[in-house]
Amino acid sequence: MREMPELLLSFVSYKQAIQNRSALTVEQYAGDLEMFFRFVISQRSGVSMEECDISSLDESLVQSVKPGDIYAFLLYLSQQRGDKSRTVARKLSAIKSFFKYHSAKTHIVKENPARDIDAPQIRPALPKYMTLDESVDLLDTVDPASPDYARDYCILTLFLNCGMRLSELVGIDLTDIDSDLSKLRVTGKGDKMRVIYLNESCRESISAYLPVREERSSKCRVPLASDSKNALFLSKRNRRISPQTVEWLVYKYIDRAGLGGRGLSTHKLRHTAATLMYNEGGVDVLTLKDILGHEQLSTTQIYTHVSDSRMQNAMEANPLAHRGRRKNVKAEDKDK
């Protein structure tokens, strides 16, 4: 963990070790809080935020923070930095969590200045995803003549069929997969394990990749590292494939498929899998929640945006859709 003031270090250590937050989440908390305290110091000293040194962050400074300091910071984020509501809400969440920790756990703060501050309203954004045809095109861009074909095709197949996270995919071990390839286990957020059942496409892609993995790892000049022997997906250097490598190859195939420039990524493949299961496969939202490994149903509901074609079909399914306008013949006869 990088060097930071003691009061900030104790907080992020608590989030990571006790509350089991991911390293990425902890890093975001630390960055958001460092920005906040630079802002507070800058406002009081007149020194620019870039020049502010928060290594002197101590109890007296933390105790001196008032709700007005937090409101001023939120205003700075939205008006001067132009941050969107979602970003402002995330930074406020870090501030709230920090002061809650130091008021309820360490008791450094007697009165939590962030307790009654409301977060900005956030409009739920529709997730970016690929259509069924675009998903097929993406799979077809993997060159069968490439030595990485079996591995890359299997990676894309698991993303598009299972809706797993990037960290879950790179963390798959051979022992996580049942011998009949019917299901596998992944470790999600908070080290929570869940079972993913494999369909025919997944079984076929894994079955085709396993012998290739064995052959390539045995012929590689670099010995298979001890910490990678059980990894399902290996890099060219015979190590567990890294998240960065997977992101790179996904971007590569997205560009090849002519889908670049749309903000698509590995996580958008998760969106795609969820959307296809809901819109095309008719999977109900509760089942989708378990497949994706969400704790809250509200998190899953963002994936259940209804496609234009589905809305059109719903309108056509109305029993009055084809009735047409009925002329009042008698009224017309009277007029004559």
Residue 290 confidence class, pLDDT cut points 50, 70, 90: confident
Among 55-64, 228-237, 306-315, which is the least confidently predicted range? Answer: 306-315
Per DSSP (E only), the strands in 106-219 are 183-187, 193-197
Q: Specify whether the CB–CB gap between 89 and 120 falls below 8 A.
A: yes
What does the pLDDT look like over 200-234, one tens digit per residue?
Answer: 999 999 999 999 999 998 888 888 888 889 999 99
**Cα–Cα dist 181/240, whole Å:** 20
What is the residue-wise DSSP string for 187-229? E-GGG-EEEEE--HHHHHHHHHHHHHHHHHHHH-SSPPPGGGT
Which residues fall within 8 angstroms of residue 304, CB to CB, at 6 or more apart? 278, 285, 288
Nearest to 282 by CA among 313, 260, 261, 255: 313
What does the pLDDT look like over 70-113, one tens digit per residue?
Answer: 999 999 999 999 988 889 999 999 999 999 999 999 999 999 99
Residue 312 confidence class, pLDDT cut points 50, 70, 90: low
**What are residue 184's phi and psi, to 5 degrees?**
-140, 165
**Cα–Cα dist 272/303, whole Å:** 9
The CATH label, of 3.20.20.450, 1.10.150.130, 3.40.605.10, 3.40.50.10790, for the domain at 6-104 is 1.10.150.130
The CATH label, of 2.20.25.10, 1.10.760.10, 1.10.443.10, 1.20.1090.10, for the domain at 132-314 is 1.10.443.10
Domain ranges of the chain: 6-104, 132-314
pLDDT computed for residue 149 by the predictor: 96
What does the pLDDT look like over 25-49, one tens digit per residue?
Answer: 888 899 999 999 999 999 999 889 9
Reported residue count of the chain is 336
**Cα–Cα dist 33/39, whole Å:** 10
Would the pLDDT of 327 be above 90? no
Residues with a catalytic annotation lie at 165, 189, 267, 270, 294, 303
